[in-house]
Amino acid sequence: MLQYREAMEYLQNLTKFGMNFGLGRITELLRRLGNPHQTLRVIHIGGTNGKGSTTAMVASVLHKAGYRVGTFTSPHLHSYTERYQINGRQIDPDRVARWITRLRPHLDAMVREGFEHPTEFEVSTAMAFCYFQEEQVDYLVLEVGLGGAIDSTNVVHPLLSVITNVAMDHMNYLGNTLEEIARVKAGIIKPGAPVVTAADKPQVLEIIAAACREKGSSLVRVGRDVTWTCGAKSLQGQYFDYNGLHRRLAGLWIPLLGRHQVVNAATALAVLEVLSERGAVLDETALREGLAATVWPARLELIGGDPPVLVDAAHNYDGARSLRQALDDYFAGRGVIMVLGMLGDKERARVVAELAPRARHVVITRPNSPRAGDWQQLAVEARRYLRDVDTVENIGEAVRTAMALAREGDLVCVTGSFYMVAEARETVLRMRRT
């Protein structure tokens, strides 16, 4: 059997097959494995932003209600095992090694028989279905990797589908208009399976509603069919009231910052109400305690100390808008030293236009990715809005530079590409421990 390190090297090597979309390879691989996905009760969560937060909240409530709940999310922050969790516990590395050992002969056989080699994400997805079937989870909360129709998770026929929202992101894969992207994301809508969405743009809603009519799926709209009211907030979290399909709940608490997280929480509650209609037993205590126990790092995550550091993977324009709103809501009047690193295929100029004016000093760094492109171009964009802009290629060094620049009362804000933010967060945590 492979050791965990060898298994990870094998998986890493599969990235050479790139992003090769389509369901043919994953369908064939799963057929050879006995179609484990067909035995699972799946909540399928897609959308541009908020997928992970909504997944975490839904899973946390189901766990508090006494269910055995699997989650498959991507990418990971610090360890590959984060992607596979049951009731908040990550998969054991030995189980990863065991499953890769089992899958490898099937992959080799597919290639011998003339099939294209499955991609790294397809292998990861197949392993998720095998693992959660073996562990006999009651529910699998499954996050879409990228898009919807073309994503390897889309082989499932879920209990219900969720589209958190639709915004401009991954245009080189999904399309150059909101309508094109919405059609791809609406691909997770399946015949007869209810749909919950918090999308609010009319052209997007039209496409989602049309897909629901075509598939005979009911549609719950967050913001119309269920509503919320924001309450008191602090740097520890926020309160809100929920007016749902069947429940009205006042004084709910989430340990997450940002107005957008209340929308995600309302979406999660709508999902849970639809699940209740389909047999899930969820009392008010589970709903309250589950939301309050949600853990989702690197999303407006405040790491205390001097100076305090706000870590947020705002990797696209809509994410940047939410971050800017949170800076104004929670840190009005405070100086901001911003560490920013983005991939070359993002709307970098729009993100910088949103965030740079809120900073008094910006440190541009290079994401650790082949898609980093001309990372220093970000500095050119940032200098349109302020004079004090540095470029520091090494992420850890960029974080240390920003913290050294902070004066009393300042906030260090680390944002941009998920992979850059993960490495920066690790640096901050390491500095706090020493």
| Residue 133: CATH number of its domain | 3.40.1190.10
Question: What was the pLDDT predicted at 15?
Answer: 83
What is the number of structural domains in the chain?
A: 2
Q: What is the token pair recorded at 38?
A: 């067909």
Residue 274 sits in the same domain as residue 306: no
| pLDDT digit string, tens, across residues 268-281 | 999 999 999 999 99
Is it the case that residue 391 has pLDDT exceeding 90? yes
Q: What is the mean pLDDT of residues 261-265?
A: 98
Within a domain: 12: yes
Q: Quote the DSSP letter at residue 226.
A: B
Within a domain: 126: yes
Question: What was the pLDDT predicted at 189?
Answer: 98
Within a domain: 275: yes
Residue 271 sits in the same domain as residue 374: no
Is it the case that residue 20 has pLDDT exceeding 80? no
Instruction: Work out the mean pLDDT of the chain and round it to a whole number.
Output: 94
Q: What is the token pair recorded at 336?
A: 């901001």
State the CB neighbour count (10 A cutoff) for residue 5.
Answer: 10
Q: What is the mean pLDDT of residues 179-208?
A: 96
Is it the case that residue 400 has pLDDT exceeding 70? yes
Which of the pair, 48 or 21, is modelled with greater confidence? 48
What does the angle CA 397 – CA 342 – CA 23 come to, to the nearest 5 degrees?
130
Q: Enter the pTM of the model.
A: 0.96
Is it the case that residue 426 has pLDDT exceeding 90? yes
Work out the percent of the chain whose per-residue pLDDT is above 90.
88
Per the CB < 8 A criterion, the answer to whether 288 and 361 are in contact is no
Strand partners, 338: 362, 413
Strand partners, 72: 84, 142
pLDDT band, very low/low/confident/very high, at 345 (cuts 50, 70, 90): low
Q: How far apart are CA 374 and CA 406, in angstroms?
A: 27
Residue 220 sits in the same domain as residue 129: yes
Residue 193 sits in the same domain as residue 320: no
Q: Name the least confident of 13-22, 69-78, 388-397.
A: 13-22
CA distances from 381 to 73, 170, 210, 374 (A): 32, 21, 40, 12
Residue 80 sits in the same domain as residue 149: yes
Q: How far apart are CA 367 and CA 239, in angstroms?
A: 35
Within a domain: 338: yes
Residues in contact with 311: Cβ distance below 8 Å, sequence separation at least 6, in sequence order: 297, 298, 300, 301, 302, 303, 414, 415, 421, 424, 425, 428
Residue 310 sits in the same domain as residue 267: no
> Is the C-alpha dihedral spanning 177, 182, 185, 191 positive or negative?
negative
Q: Which residue has the tokens 């080799």?
A: 108
What are the φ and ψ backbone dihedral angles of 250, each rounded to 5 degrees? -105, 150
Within a domain: 232: no
Among 291, 317, 345, the domain-final residue is 291
Q: What is the mean pLDDT of residues 382-397?
A: 97
Residue 267 sits in the same domain as residue 222: yes
| pLDDT digit string, tens, across residues 349-379 | 999 999 999 999 999 999 988 777 889 999 9
Residues in contact with 214: Cβ distance below 8 Å, sequence separation at least 6, in sequence order: none
Question: What was the pLDDT predicted at 347?
Answer: 80
pLDDT band, very low/low/confident/very high, at 172 (cuts 50, 70, 90): low
Residue 309 sits in the same domain as residue 222: no
- Which helix (H) or strand (E) segment holds residue 249: the answer is strand 248-254
Q: Please report how many Cα atoms fall inside a 13 Å half-sphere around the Cα of residue 140, on the Cβ side.
A: 30
| pLDDT digit string, tens, across residues 90-116 | 999 999 999 999 999 999 999 999 999
Residue 9 sits in the same domain as residue 150: yes
Residue 20 sits in the same domain as residue 149: yes
Among 268, 291, 314, the domain-final residue is 291
Question: What was the pLDDT predicted at 175?
Answer: 75
| Closest alpha carbon to 169 in 272, 251, 59, 46 | 46
Q: What is the token pair recorded at 283?
A: 């009392």
**Per-residue three-class SS string for 18-82:** CCCCCCHHHHHHHHHCCCHHHHCCEEEEECCCCHHHHHHHHHHHHHHCCCCEEEECCCCCCCHHH
Q: How far apart are CA 337 and CA 160, in angstroms?
A: 42
Q: Quote the DSSP letter at residue 235.
A: T
Within a domain: 245: no
Amino acid residing at 236:
Q
Q: How far apart are CA 187 and CA 208, in angstroms?
A: 9
Strand pairing category for 42-46 and 69-72: unpaired
pLDDT band, very low/low/confident/very high, at 17 (cuts 50, 70, 90): confident
Per the CB < 8 A criterion, the answer to whether 70 and 139 are in contact is yes
Q: How far apart are CA 300 and CA 321, in angstroms?
A: 12
Residue 313 sits in the same domain as residue 221: no
Is it the case that residue 170 has pLDDT exceeding 70? no
Is it the case that residue 168 has pLDDT exceeding 80? no
Residue 199 sits in the same domain as residue 74: yes
> Is the C-alpha dihedral spanning 287, 290, 293, 296 positive or negative?
negative
Within a domain: 235: no
Strand pairing category for 160-163 and 42-46: parallel
Within a domain: 407: yes
Is it the case that residue 169 has pLDDT exceeding 90? no
| Closest alpha carbon to 208 in 176, 173, 162 | 162
Question: What was the pLDDT predicted at 182?
Answer: 94
Among 271, 291, 311, the domain-final residue is 291
Domain at 336, CATH number: 3.90.190.20
Is it the case that residue 76 has pLDDT exceeding 80? yes
Q: What range defines the domain where residue 56 resides?
A: 4-226+256-291
Question: What was the pLDDT predicted at 383?
Answer: 97
